[in-house]
Chains A and B, each alone.
Chain A
Amino acid sequence: MRIITHTCPACGTVVAANQLEDSRVMKCPGLGCQEVVRFEDLPEDAREHFLENRDRYQI
């Protein structure tokens, strides 16, 4: 199963795609980081792959 992550450009915290997709837009979970991270920050192919296989990322 392809595992997709996004790295916050401000603090380096890594966020899994399932977490990003859950909230779509979220404050970076890095403590004290004010950056906003979005599911849309992922490359298009990663987003498409995730959405096509969405069920498997909810197991």
Chain B
Amino acid sequence: MKGVVLSGGTGSRLRPITHTGPKQLVPVANKPVLEYAIEDLKEAGITEIGVILGNKGRDEIQELFGDGSEYGVDITYIVQGNPLGLAHAAGCAKDFVGDDDFVMYLGDNILKSGVTELVKSFETGNYGAGIALQEVDDPQAFGIADVDNEGNVTELIEKPDEPPTNLALIGMYVFSPAVFDAIDELEPSWRGELEITDAIQDLLEDGYEIDSHIVTGWWKDTGKPQDILEANRLVLEDTELNTAGVVEDGAQTDGCIELADSSVIEDGAVVRGPVSIAENTTIKSGAYVGPYTSIGANSTLEDIHIENSVVIGDSEITTNGRIVDSLLGRNANVGSADELLPEGRRLVVGENSQLKL
């Protein structure tokens, strides 16, 4: 069994954060989203991994993961270039996959339960493919699967008006090499992409059984800022957090706090977990860091009250205000305007930023 992780796409819904890098490297609990996918595959015993690269962030992704040895896996990079659809991405991995089965994992997805159960379920039968499903409240907005009593998929329908089930396809699949023949036969869809659901539908029509596995733990597609915050909350809630850094006397802390060993919570600061604070970061007197917040490396926080937020890193936040439900990009700084005249806020805001003042 091999793994294929998709990390193309434009990340347009995460602008301005993605103006400078790929969406799959946006950190959740101070770890790039893509790293969760690599770790999940490794946990399922899959160590030969193809990482599909789009046009954006190729070098950054290769710099981070290298040949995979630091993660205990062996990575091959596959350059898809233009985003011609998930089935095109899978097709680009054909030579890498060879005659093996493979897990295909969308690199901007993050899920509690990993891929082990999906793989196990697939391996119990002689399936053409296996798909991960999750119950959703609004099936009209998703690709939906109909399944029989044995859990075999009988039909896939994209955003149905009258959904037969509320079982949505999430971004995880297992394929036998038969999928490559199906992809060979595909035509671009109305939206001009080679659709993986069409390939699975073709496998069905060719007589292959398609397994389904229902994922019960949380699953998040981190395409939008709100999703990053939500994923950050879910991961912080679920992860064991270690305090390795310095908590000075006079600092108030409670709950689980991940504090890198080079970071400090100073006298007079308040931190209420679950919180993650990365390397070389200082939480100074007067700062309050509330639950479900991740502060990236090389940052300083002073006077600010911040909660349910993600600060990616290299930031100085030193104003006496409240920041909630926010995503701050790398090297974003927030200072005080108190002493400045005329009175008012001073902003240097990048393209596609969103502020609520």
Cβ contacts A1-24/B at 8 Å (1 or 0 each): 111010100001111101100100
Cross-chain contact of A18 among B82, B94, B95 (Cβ < 8 A): B82
* B60 smallest CB distance to A (angstroms): 10
In the complex, the chain A residue whose C-beta lies closest to that of B80 is A16
Given A1-B187, A5-B92, residue A29 in contact with residue B80 (CB < 8 A): no
Cβ-based interface call for B183 (8 A)? yes
* Minimal Cβ-Cβ distance residue in B for A31: B62
Complexed CA–CA distance, A47 and B275 (Å): 53
Q: Which of B71-79, B258-266, B281-289, B323-331 contacts A (4 or more CB under 8 A)?
A: B71-79
Question: In the docked arrangement, what's the CA distance between A22 and B95, Å?
Answer: 21
* Cβ contact within 8 Å between B192 and A59: yes
Taking chain B's interface residues, is the majority helix, strand, or loop, or is none over half, making it mixed?
mixed
Chain A residues with CB below 8 A from B183, complex form:
1, 3
Instruction: Tell me, in angstroms, the Cα distance from A10 to B88 when the chains sit together.
Output: 24
Which residues from A are CB-within-8-Å of B77? 13-14, 29-30
Indicate whether A19 sits within 8 Å of B96 (C-beta atoms), given known contacts A31-B59, A59-B192, A59-B193: no
Q: How far is the CA of A18 from the CA of B188 in the complex (A)?
A: 15
Chain A residue total in the interface (Cβ 8 A) = 20
**Bound CA–CA A1/B192 (angstroms):** 12
Q: How far, in Å, is B21 (CB) from chain A's closest CB?
A: 15
The CA-CA distance from A19 to B89 in the complex, in Å, is 13
> Which A-chain residue is minimally distant from B78 (CB atoms)?
A14
Residues of A within 8 Å of B96, CB to CB, are 14
In the assembled complex, B184 has its CB within 8 A of some CB on chain A: yes
Contact B92 A3 (CB under 8 A): yes
A35 CA / B58 CA spacing, docked (Å): 17
Whether B84 is near chain A, meaning CB under 8 Å from some CB there, is yes
Could you tell me the distance between the alpha carbons of A12 and B78 in the complex, rounded to whole angstroms? 9
* CB-based nearest A residue for B60: A31
The complex places the Cα of A43 from the Cα of B62 at a distance, in Å, of 28
Give the CA-CA distance A16 to B58 in the complex, in Å.
Answer: 14
Seen from chain A, the residues whose Cβ lies within 8 Å of a Cβ on chain B are 1-3, 5, 7, 12-16, 18-19, 22, 29-31, 56-59
